[in-house]
A and B are shown apart, each in its own frame.
Chain A
Amino acid sequence: MSIEIKNITKCFGDVCALDDVTLSFGGEKIYGLLGNNGAGKSTLLGILTDLLHPTGGTVTVDGEAVSNNDTALGKVFLVAEQNLFPEDMSVKKAFGAAQIFSAAFDRAYAEKLAAKFGLNTKKKIKSLSTGYASIFRLIIGLSVNTPYLLLDEPVLGLDAQHRDMFYRLLLEKYAEKPCTIVISTHLIAEAAELIEHAVIIRDGRIIRDCPSSELTASAYSVSGPAGLVDSYLEGKHILTSNTLGGLKTACVQGQSDALPAGLEFSGVKLQDYFISLMEEEDRK
């Protein structure tokens, strides 16, 4: 039971947004789809929900192709970065529309969340601020109860309190009704606690696809006097390094060995690993 993406390519004119992408989302896990701006994250999510037609390749949901397939598409809900609802529709009417389309939509829960976030359901969607437009889409996503929930930049424009509220609600929902969740976000540090499996995409290609614990365990950070650090780093795979005054910090790929005296070791967080990886890719 999974979303299988096989050899997906998507080109917009001369620009290749996705290049032969093969991966899978399933097992009721929380995935993090991470990448820089323009990496192809939204394009990939658009293809999974048939909003975009791939140039090549196939996408299946639980073994059924998504293209023109109501059964497959009905199992996936995308909280898109942009608005797919009619502009003149009110939040309340959008809840009504969700009820028409999805029998599993929990209207009472949606109303409860709207009250919790302070979202005025009488307001038209086009009149909502960026933050509240995101909240509106998140509420629908949290209430629709599909086996696969895709979140594209879910906390866009949300203040810190609302972001925290959303992450807690998402976890509550996941604990109550486990489903496969894919979060595409730039705010990696905030979402890192949620992400069980990280997929890192760059220039339309998947460069990492493994459990986030494996990624963070695959590198470590070492810091200390620049000279000591430099001699320690000899022959090692350095992802990134920064020098400030006489102190140097480096992120190293691999398992740490015995450190010489005067150097400090620390594990890397998902965001640090991501930044190091991107910097390494930049150098290539």
Chain B
Amino acid sequence: MKMNLKPAYRYQFMSLLKGTAVFYLIMIVIVTAFLAVTINFGGSSSMTFGGYAFAAAVYLFVAGIVYIRSDLRLCLQFGVSRRTAFLSEILSFLSISAILAVAGELVTALVRVAASGNPNIFVLDFYQIVYLGAEKVLPSFGHQAMSFLTNVAMFFCACTVGAFFSLMFWRLNKFWTIVVAISIPFAINGLPYLLIKLGVDFSRFFAWIASSPFCFILTCLVIAAAAVVIDWLLLRRANIKAAKN
């Protein structure tokens, strides 16, 4: 059976890339502004640049929520099946995750170069904080490659989980939307508390994740794989609702 993957991927990737370019530009502006202020007027106060990976993950989580619905509508409008549309969306998420991870390595490397010799500027990223320690060290190429892989896994996981929330709320009726919306804060805050009270030891799991970047990558990929499967199950029989207008 012929799949119309190429046009769907081309459209979805380009549409995600445009949003991502705006996000990246904002990150560059923020970093440049903070660097300029710290270098020129900072005196002895220090600046830590270390939130890129989390900011990008949050952006991709939101992108996952936003793009999946509009992309599916447009694909179906132009005769691309939901299976092809979904597959190309996942490929687009993966591509954008890789691009943002490369861009992250690039921006941290550039900030390091710009800040070289300034003892008040600390350039860190998720991988360095968790697996190398927060000391001011210059990561090797191998470390940067691992940081890239860690970020790709985290970003891809964020996209697919974002898409899960989008599709779940798309499928729910008004009553269940309210029930789930109320339950989410409880699930995030109350459930872990309850489980700890019941004797579930999360510290061992977190220690395992912190023991090796591969453990973190594996965890992200397992969550992403589960999200992809659930996303497809939610999507394959969903009634595609029109946008407002």
Residues of A whose CB lies within 8 Å of any CB of B are: 46, 49-53, 67-71, 73-78, 80, 82-87, 97-98, 100-102, 125-126, 128, 133, 144, 146
How far is the CB of A139 from the nearest CB of chain B, in Å? 14
B2 touches A (CB below 8 Å): yes
User: Which secondary structure dominates chain A's binding surface?
Assistant: loop
B82: A residues at CB distance < 8 A:
50, 68
Flag if B79 contacts A146 (CB, 8 Å): yes
Flag if A126 contacts B245 (CB, 8 Å): yes
Flag if B79 contacts A52 (CB, 8 Å): no
Flag if A83 contacts B84 (CB, 8 Å): no
Chain B interface residue bracket vs A: 20 to 34
Q: Looking at the complex, which of B3-11, B100-108, B111-119 is the stretch in contact with chain A?
A: B3-11
15 sample A-B contacts, Cβ–Cβ < 8 Å, listed by A number: A46-B240, A51-B239, A53-B239, A68-B81, A70-B84, A78-B77, A80-B77, A82-B243, A85-B243, A97-B11, A97-B74, A101-B7, A101-B74, A102-B78, A126-B245
A85 vs B82: C-alpha distance in the bound complex, in angstroms?
A: 15
Flag if B79 contacts A84 (CB, 8 Å): no
User: Which of chain A's residues has its CB closest to B78's CB?
Assistant: A101
A101 interface neighbour in B1, B11, B73, Cβ under 8 Å:
B11
A83: B residues at CB distance < 8 A:
242-245
Flag if A68 contacts B242 (CB, 8 Å): no
B10: A residues at CB distance < 8 A:
100
A126 vs B76: C-alpha distance in the bound complex, in angstroms?
A: 19
B7: A residues at CB distance < 8 A:
100-101
A86 vs B18: C-alpha distance in the bound complex, in angstroms?
A: 14
B4 interface neighbour in A53, A70, A82, A98, Cβ under 8 Å:
A70
B79 interface neighbour in A68, A77, A82, A128, Cβ under 8 Å:
A77
Flag if A73 contacts B80 (CB, 8 Å): yes
Flag if A50 contacts B11 (CB, 8 Å): no
A73: B residues at CB distance < 8 A:
76, 79-81
User: Which of chain B's residues has its CB closest to A79's CB?
Assistant: B77
Flag if A85 contacts B79 (CB, 8 Å): no
Give residues of chain B (56-74) contacting chain A, Cβ–Cβ below 8 Å: 70, 73-74
